[in-house]
Structure 1
Amino acid sequence: MTAAVSAPARPCPVAPGDLCDFRDLGGFPDLSGKVGPVSVVQCRRCGHGVSLPPLADVAFLYAGRATQDFRQDGSRLGHAIKNVAFRRQARALLAQLPARPARVLDFGCGSGQFTRCLDDELGPGMVTGSDFETSPPADLTGRSYVPAGALAPLAGSFDCVLAMHVLEHDDDAAGLLGRIAAMARPGGILVIEVPNSECAWLKVFGKAWDAWYLPYHRSHFSRRSLRALVEQGGHTVLALHPATVPTMGRSLSNLVGGNKGLTWLLAGIGLHPLQVAGERLTGRPSALRIIARVGG
């Protein structure tokens, strides 16, 4: 079975009226141990990537919060370091918004550590975390949390809805975006952040680049494909910001077959200035953040 046959037909955002011209990037490690052979195809024109085989429902991949999306940091030092980083990230995000929101939903909050830091910045109780787990993660104990399956009654009630590194986890990114945006009030703000499939560090790390993260990451966005997805959803893009996600330590760990423990976290911190410099020099950041107004 060739990549051309396996890849779904997808309109290419840089070639109106034509489909994505996918090339096969080959096989990747199955980090879940639940899927078997996995691969990625990527459009030669727009840079959008798709993980194969397709998965109609990805919930089984996250059973028991066994992935790095949900896992709490095992060391007090690692948790403290991430707190510092997440507080800085929360302040930077709030500075990018057109106005300070009164009620925020962090959709796909994962471990909840960033959610808590953002809630501390805005004032406790102003940020609600949500994910498909019925119980909140440890970092959101005593904070506002609503399971994704129970969000429907809150549709249209949030000033700002965040989906930070969420869209890439679903084969139907457009459908997921629609469900996320529906939680914002008309004219509210939508913040989407995803890994950049055209990151400068891809050429250095290749398949060991941590943001490939197969089979958990299902869609791989470029600037053009992310903007097209948001605009096709009927939303007005206000800004598209480069973002740096600290992937150096985990990518190095992938290269040597190590774990993702404190040693690699510290290695990533030490190499972070190099990562930032490389991304700024090339204009190819490790992540992309779109801020949009819901419903145009």
Structure 2
Amino acid sequence: MTNRHTIADVRRCPLDNGQPCDFTSLGSFIDKSGKVGEVSVIRCTRCGIGVSLPPLPDVAFLYDGRESQDFQPDARGLSHRIKDIAFRRQARALLRQLAHRPKAALDFGCGSGQFTRCLDDLLPCATVTGTDFHSEPPAELAGRDYFPIATASVHADAFDLVTAFHVLEHDDDPESLLNRIAALAAPGGTLVIEVPNIDCMWTRLLGQAWDAWYLPFHRIHFSRPALRALIDNAGLTIEQDIDICVPTMGRSLANAFGRPNSLPFLLAGIALHPLQWLGEALSGKPSAIRIIARKN
């Protein structure tokens, strides 16, 4: 209860003239890290943002050893090849959405580096750099451009494209994190921010098995109004607001059966992806929200 009131006192609702968010409990969740214990989520009844409890001022300990799903530890053999195809398609789709091809791109919170490498391969005339918690790059970026987030300040205003795919939800203070990310973009540069959508149709249908209920790793659970308000308040100009269908069915099925993700669940997710896409398209409640913004 103390945590609930502390957060309510400091988190101002962007849809209610800066008044404190009006939180209600969504209940307890499974601690998928095994490092925190009891975890839960509260949600504002006005702006729709969700907040994971207890607060974690420093989340770096969750990512020791690159063992969380953010680093694709299950991507080996055929799984790796399948995900390589998916990341290449994702990178091509991103480039089609951009007004200009970047000359210097940064993938903030690059995780396994697999998407970063695929984007780098598609931009032979540009530099594509990854950054994350660790001092050494992931294996996917061996021999490629990388720097640890701790040294990010020396790269201010250096990139005409900065991507942050499924990054903002990993920090208790997304306002400060977004400012740190935006500082790396050059004036006039493009930022691409993507997060899971708390109002996704699968939130209610799949319950806690939904892949994005990934506690305690996911700290903030964004609604579209909350995400847009965050980006507006950072002084960025929103140019595109895009529904994204993230292939989450495989891991959601693994969660439902209480099993680790593996090749059979990956293949089941691929088979179900057309149904997932159709459901999200008809409902207008996508699994993720992508905002493309310009730094003024």
TM-score category by the smaller chain? over 0.9
CA–CA distance in structure 1, aligned partners of residues 22 and 65 of structure 2: 37
Deviations 1:215-246 (A, max 9, x none): 00000101100000001001110111011111
2:277 partner SS: helix
The 5 A counterparts of 1:134-283 are 134-283=135-284
Determine the structure 1 residue equivalent to 2:8. 8
Unaligned stretches of 5+ residues in structure 2: none
- TM-score of the aligned structures, taking structure 2 as reference length: 0.96
Report % sequence identity.
60
2:71 partner SS: coil
1:69 partner SS: helix
- TM-score of the aligned structures, taking structure 1 as reference length: 0.96
CA–CA distance in structure 1, aligned partners of residues 278 and 134 of structure 2: 37
The 5 A counterparts of 1:17-166 are 17-123=18-124, 126-166=127-167
Q: Cα offset for 1:112? A: 0.3
The amino acid across from 1:49 in the alignment is: G
Deviations 1:39-71 (A, max 9, x none): 000112221100000001000000111111124
Q: Cα offset for 1:6? A: 5.3
Further displaced range: 249-258 or 221-230: 249-258
Instruction: Say if 1:3 and 1:58 are closer, same or farther in 2 by CA, change over 3 A.
Output: closer
Q: Cα offset for 1:16? A: 2.3
Contact 2:249-2:272 within 8 A present in 1 as well:
yes
Runs of 4+ displaced beyond 6 Å:
none
2:201 partner SS: coil
The amino acid across from 2:149 in the alignment is: A
Q: Cα offset for 1:268? A: 0.6
1:101 partner SS: coil
2:62 partner SS: helix
2:32 partner SS: coil
CA–CA distance in structure 1, aligned partners of residues 260 and 90 of structure 2: 25
Contact 1:11-1:19 within 8 A present in 2 as well:
yes
Q: Cα offset for 1:11? A: 2.1
CA–CA distance in structure 2, aligned partners of residues 55 and 17 of structure 1: 23
1:87 partner SS: helix
2:147 partner SS: coil
Contact 1:237-1:292 within 8 A present in 2 as well:
yes
Further displaced range: 4-13 or 208-217: 4-13
Contact 1:39-1:53 within 8 A present in 2 as well:
yes
Further displaced range: 178-187 or 118-127: 118-127
Deviations 1:238-290 (A, max 9, x none): 11101111111111111110111111111110100010000000100000000
Further displaced range: 72-81 or 10-19: 10-19
Instruction: Say if 1:58 and 1:3 are closer, same or farther in 2 by CA, change over 3 A.
Output: closer
Q: Cα offset for 1:123? A: 1.3
The amino acid across from 2:172 in the alignment is: D
Contact 1:241-1:290 within 8 A present in 2 as well:
yes
The amino acid across from 1:54 in the alignment is: P
The amino acid across from 2:156 in the alignment is: A
* Number of aligned positions between the proteins: 295
Deviations 1:165-194 (A, max 9, x none): 000000000000000000011111111000
Unaligned stretches of 5+ residues in structure 1: none
2:8 partner SS: coil
The amino acid across from 1:35 in the alignment is: V
The amino acid across from 2:24 in the alignment is: R
CA–CA distance in structure 2, aligned partners of residues 8 and 22 of structure 1: 7
Q: Cα offset for 1:2? A: 7.1
